[in-house]
Amino acid sequence: MALGVSPGDRVAIQAAKHVAMLELYGAAIISGAILLPLNTSYTKAEISYFLNDARPKIFVCDVESEASLADVAYDCGVKTVLVLTGSSENSLEWLRDAQTTGLAPVPRGAEDIAAILYTSGTTGRAKGAMLSHRALASNAAVLVALWRFSKDDRLIHALPIFHTHGLFVAINVVMMAGASMDFLAGFDAEAIIGLMLESSVLMGVPTFYTRLLKYPALPDAARGMRLFVSGSAPLLVETHRQWEMQTGHRILERYGMTETNMNTSNPYDQERRPGTVGFALPGIEVRMVDSGTGLEVPDGEVGGIEVRGANLFSGYWENPEKTAAGMCADGFFKTGDLARRDEEGYIHIVGRAKDLIISGGLNVYPVELELIIDAFPGVDESAVFGVTHPDFGESVVAAIVPHKGATIELAALHEHLAGQLARFKQPREIVIVDALPRNTMGKVQKNVLAASYGDFNKEHPHH
């Protein structure tokens, strides 16, 4: 506030995870500003795009990146560039300690914007989702109640904090419950296992769980924990089962996204069903609709997921066209995900609408194939994607990562799939890769795979 930040001004930050960033988050909220956290892997060119788009008054970065980013920020019209930590006079830590007068929080209403999070731009430029105090506070309150958080809980926080999972789900829930957390700089399996003995909850992405399973100390360490939550990317049924076998705990999988915060969760008390994201959260409506007619599909059929509730964002920053395109007339938001609801009400995500493969006019849902491929002996994980095809429009390709030391007979795998899948769903090509390309949240980047393996008309060296 001493630096002239007024309500509604944006405060952008790109810095390594540090507890000072939580102080900055609190400070932005108290001063009525809008926090704009940026992914730590963004390049100068990307940072320039976000700063030009959001026009923040203040940009905060690490001491190490100040030399390379300060000019970029000033070129984008930023008034003040600060570093997060350190003893220099432009560090937030120094400014905090030099601040002598007490400051009263600026009153804010439920619809005022608390943060802008940019959604990954796999299709075109990234858009800034505006999240209100209503959206963040209501979602945290629902999760505290549903997941039974109390002041006695201690969370192991190993997630990045530039996105909704680490910054809002984990931190807001802990703060609203008056709980505590161990704030790790990043994922460190041995540190996490060591902390389990005195902690109660871990929130993670699927790769956390697959990596932790490799440690013999896990079963003993995990015994006293209360809850393991997974999100941000689909958890393999196999990981779910192995985790239960080793630790006696069922991972609680939930589903959310930048624009909506959390939408659904497996139940706390009833069955946490592998391969599903459970039920709509209390106070939130979730429906599956036919893309052609816009009408709800019957249970068991796949439709586009639409969500309505206090959790929804307030639109995309200065982009009314994109906002309007994402909303229905009755207030539901089109998530771009596809799902079906089973006869017991559990929701199964079958993929992103943009990952849907339409081959010869027929719909192929990659998740259905991935589940069958992942169960094949020797397969660690897989990703199924579409590439352009002169006759069918798109043809189906599978990339598979074998278990360490395993050899996979492609002919046997093709035969196995032929026994379980209609002809049009079977992959025309299967490629073996060392690892699947992932973004920082652990989501598989199918657009990268499609670009790498898109031209099968020529002889492909990896095949």
**208 and 326 fall within a common domain:** yes
The pLDDT tens digits for 185-242 are 999 999 999 999 999 999 999 889 999 999 999 999 999 999 999 998 888 888 999 9
319 in any annotated domain: yes
The pLDDT tens digits for 144-191 are 999 999 999 999 999 999 989 999 999 999 999 999 999 999 999 999
Q: Are 76 and 98 in contact (CB under 8 A)?
A: no
**215 and 338 fall within a common domain:** yes
Give the pLDDT score at 458: 44
Query: Is the model's pLDDT at 459 over the cut of 60?
Result: no
**207 and 267 fall within a common domain:** yes
**259 and 284 fall within a common domain:** yes
**Residue 306 and residue 327: Cα distance in Å, rounded?**
9
Task: Name residues whose C-beta falls within 8 Å of residue 433's C-beta, 6 or more positions apart in sequence.
Answer: 399, 400, 401, 462
**209 and 279 fall within a common domain:** yes
Q: Are 140 and 167 in contact (CB under 8 A)?
A: no
Averaged pLDDT for residues 58-86: 96
Task: Name residues whose C-beta falls within 8 Å of residue 422's C-beta, 6 or more positions apart in sequence.
Answer: none
Q: Mark which of 324, 352, 380 sits at the end of a domain.
A: 352
**221 and 154 fall within a common domain:** yes
Overall number of domains in the chain: 3
Domain assignment of residue 42, given as a range: 10-108
For residues 442, 448, 454 and 459, what is the CA-based torsion angle, rounded to 10 degrees? Answer: -90
Query: Is the model's pLDDT at 443 over the cut of 90?
Result: no
pLDDT band at 455 (very low <50, low <70, confident <90, very high): low
Q: Mark which of 108, 143, 166 sits at the end of a domain.
A: 108
Inter-CA distances, 19 with 49, 165, 185, 205, 399, Å: 27, 16, 9, 21, 39
**158 and 307 fall within a common domain:** yes
206 in any annotated domain: yes
pLDDT band at 460 (very low <50, low <70, confident <90, very high): very low
3 in any annotated domain: no
**Residue 136 and residue 168: Cα distance in Å, rounded?**
7
The pLDDT tens digits for 405-425 are 999 999 999 999 998 888 889
Q: Mark which of 72, 93, 108 sits at the end of a domain.
A: 108
Q: Above pLDDT 90, what percent of the chain?
A: 79
**75 and 22 fall within a common domain:** yes
The CATH number of the domain where 172 resides is what?
3.40.50.12780
**Residue 125 and residue 100: Cα distance in Å, rounded?**
43
The pLDDT tens digits for 263-298 are 999 999 999 999 999 999 999 999 999 988 999 999
**159 and 208 fall within a common domain:** yes
433 in any annotated domain: yes
**Residue 448 and residue 463: Cα distance in Å, rounded?**
17
50 in any annotated domain: yes
Q: Amino acid identity, residue 296?
A: E
**367 and 282 fall within a common domain:** no
Give the pLDDT score at 389: 82
461 in any annotated domain: no
**Residue 256 and residue 305: Cα distance in Å, rounded?**
11
**246 and 289 fall within a common domain:** yes
The CATH number of the domain where 93 resides is what?
3.40.50.980
* pTM for the structure as a whole: 0.86
Task: Name residues whose C-beta falls within 8 Å of residue 310's C-beta, 6 or more positions apart in sequence.
Answer: 134, 135, 138, 139, 283, 284
The pLDDT tens digits for 168-179 are 999 999 999 999
The CATH number of the domain where 442 resides is what?
3.30.300.30
121 in any annotated domain: no
117 in any annotated domain: no
**343 and 365 fall within a common domain:** no
